[in-house]
Amino acid sequence: MIKDHTKKAVISERIDEYFLGVYGAYKFVLRFFKEVFVPPYHFRAIITQSYEIGIKSLALISVTGFIIGIVFTKQSRTSLEDFGAASWLPNLVGIAIIRALGPVLTALICAGKVGSSIGAELSSMKVTEQIEAMEVSAINPFKYLVVTRIVAATIMVPLLAMYCVFIGLIGSYINVHAAETTSFTVFFKDAFSSITFIDLFAATAKATVYGFTIGIIGCYKGFNATKGTHGVGKAANEAVVLAMFLVFLEEVIIVQVSNWVRNY
Amino acid sequence: MEKTKPKAVENQAEPVISILGLHKSFGKLDVLKGIDLTVYKGENVAVLGKSGSGKSVLIKIIVGLLKPDLGSLTVLEKKVEKLTGKELDELRLRIGFSFQGSALYDSMSVFQNLAFPLTMNVKHLDKQKVKEAVEEALEAVGLKDKAEQMPAELSGGQRKRIGIARALILKPEIMLYDEPTAGLDPITSAEINELINEVQEKYNTSSIIITHDLTCAKNTCDRIVMLVEGKFLPSGKFDELFHTDNQQVKDFFSYNFIQ
């Protein structure tokens, strides 16, 4: 669309643009909820996107989760040993990885990998008129491209987060086993000893929220990209930055809420 | 070769597209300032004009991608501005749209590109019928052997042909071509012009061809209209416009031939 440069800003151009952007995002989210429950459901496209988001991220999640498990355990050991509390290491690692590190780490990796890929793919489809081509073929591009990606991200990110937690704990176990010859059963029993249902529920719930956020931000930025190759790069970049920012913001809110529920 | 049979005019055919007093602006930029156009059944109409004159905006309004600010638009006896989402989709199935950049789906093979509109719009269609329809469309554009290739592996001319084949897959009654020969060499352009004529003969379509290529307009169209500063100049056959006294038309034609 041609931008109207003659229109006067209500407050200032940048502030106006910011609020228009927020309103646009709000309408985008609303449209998603309007369309997600209405047929036709593109199950095959959801499976394809789940594969793209989930299976293709496994290698990266595996390496990162494993290394974080080892490094976190190694770094924490020194401090705990100073207090003679090295036996609490599995417990500490369990709390840290399940409650925070697993879901957040997965979300950040997915914001970078998945968010940028969705943003870039949809924006390049937009600038090459592929989205309009769908519309003129009587195919709803929002439903086919956006809804399927958001649903896939919302399903796959929590699954990846669970996998990341498992791999992180395996990494941690290897380090603990190497130092203290702790058995696999004892390590996992200790790691989960302080974990409650609320922790598991909160971790899964927040990973689901992160998945939804990553999907919707990637799709919003890609679907609303301005024309040209510059728009493609900008959409991919903004999708990553905004998704990461929102993941941290959501982490703070969810931690507060889950602590409040735990103490209630 | 110049097109010599203005069938629609000879046959007094019924109108398939009627545009009356169409206005479209983007902010304060008036692109279309009250244009009128009627396209008859079986007729090919070229819309000529400079880049940025609003030619593509016109066909995007016809297919419902953009909404007009004012005016009346009737396509295949449907008032486009009054259609609901579902009715608009039904109308779109009767219109083929060939994009300037082909707009092929990069992630799909040629076969999948062609099968996609079919499988998404026709319920319970078995694989064999989809295959037959795709093969027929590919045969119509002379690229039957390219079914398994990806769009990135095709040349510019082949991409245009596949774009046209995809538009033809649902057997439309109207074809809208957006700059079908833009960016192509003269030989490939001539092949595309020939293809446009073949499509009209085989599928009995009515077409609007957006172009600034006079050779394309001359060889494919029964009638030519020129869009200048948001309004149409009087229309006519190629020869009539070629010998017109209108200075704006003369300028456009002479500049093209000098080029």
> Does A137 map to a domain?
yes
**pLDDT of A60:** 95
Q: What percent of chain A has pLDDT over 70?
A: 95
What is the predicted pLDDT for the residue at A7? 58
Shortest distance between the Cα of B244 and any Cα of chain A, in A, equals 34
Residues 6 or more apart in contact with residue A94 via CB below 8 angstroms: A169, A190, A191, A192, A193, A194, A195
Residue in A closest to B66 by C-alpha: A1
Domain total of chain A = 1
Task: Give the gap in angstroms from C-alpha B95 to the nearest C-alpha of chain A.
Answer: 8
Is the pLDDT at A1 greater than 60, yes or no?
no
pLDDT at A163: 97
Using DSSP, how many helices (H) and how many strands (E) does chain A show?
12, 0
Q: For residue A121, which residues of chain B lie inside 8 Å, CB to CB? A: 107
Is residue A86 included in any domain, yes or no? yes
Q: What is the pLDDT of residue A15?
A: 86
Flag residues of chain B having pLDDT under 70: 1-12, 255-259
Q: To which residue do tokens 């409040």 refer?
A: A260
- Let me know: does A161 contact A68? Beta carbons within 8 Å: no
Sheet with B223-228, side-by-side order of all strands: B95-98, B174-178, B206-211, B44-48, B223-228, B231-236
Residue A186 lies in a domain: yes
Q: Residue B259: what pLDDT?
A: 47
- Per-residue tokens: B186: 């003269």
Lowest-confidence pick of A5-9, A34-38, A75-79, A130-134 = A5-9
Residue A130 lies in a domain: yes
Averaged confidence pLDDT in chain A: 91
What pLDDT, on a 0 to 100 scale, did the predictor assign at position A8? 63
Distance (Å, rounded) from C-alpha B174 to C-alpha B172?
6
What's the mean pLDDT in A137-142? Answer: 94
Question: Hey, which residues does B19 pair with through a beta bridge?
Answer: B37, B73
CB contact under 8 A, B103 and A5: no
Taking the alpha carbons at both ends of chain B, their separation in whole angstroms is: 20
Quote the mean pLDDT of chain B: 87
CA distance A129 to chain B (A): 5
CA dihedral A44, A50, A51, A55 (to 10 degrees): -160
Tell me the β-bridge partners of A65: none
Residue-by-residue DSSP string for B55-120: HHHHHHHHTTSS--SEEEEEETTEEGGG--HHHHHHHHTTEEEE-TT----TTS-HHHHHHHHHHH
In a domain, residue A21? The reply is no
The answer, yes or no, to whether residue A245 has pLDDT greater than 50, is yes
Contact B151, B106 (CB under 8 A): yes
A205 belongs to a structural domain: yes
Cβ pairs A/B, distance under 8 A: 67
CA distance A109 to A65: 10
User: pLDDT value at position B233?
Assistant: 84
Work out the angle between the directed axes of helices A43-53 and A148-180 (0-180°, nearest 10). 30
Q: Does A248 fall in a domain?
A: yes
Q: Is B251 helix (H, G, I), strand (E, B) or coil?
A: helix
The verdict on residue A10 lying in a domain is no
Residues 6+ apart with CB under 8 A from B160: B98, B102, B180, B184, B188, B192
**A141 cis-preceded (ω within 30 degrees of 0):** no
Q: What is the mean pLDDT of residues A211-234?
A: 90
CA–CA distance, B65 with B89 (Å, rounded to integer)? 11
Instruction: Determine the pLDDT at residue A111.
Output: 95
Q: What pLDDT shows up at residue A10?
A: 66
Q: What is the dihedral of CA B80, B232, A128, A221, to 10 degrees?
A: -60
pLDDT at site A2: 40
Q: Inspect the interface and report whether the beta carbons of A138 and B90 lie closer than 8 Å.
A: yes
B97 interface with A at CB cutoff 8 Å: yes
pLDDT value of residue A239: 93
B97: which chain A residues are within 8 Å (Cβ-Cβ)?
A: 133, 136
Check residue B37 and give its pLDDT: 92
Range of the domain at A121: 39-263
DSSP reduced 3-state for B36: strand
Q: Which of A210, A219, A197 is nearest to A252 (CA)?
A: A210
Nearest Cβ partner for B28 among A6, A132, A139: A6
How large is the average pLDDT for residues A232-256? 93
**Six-digit token string for A238:** 């903004």
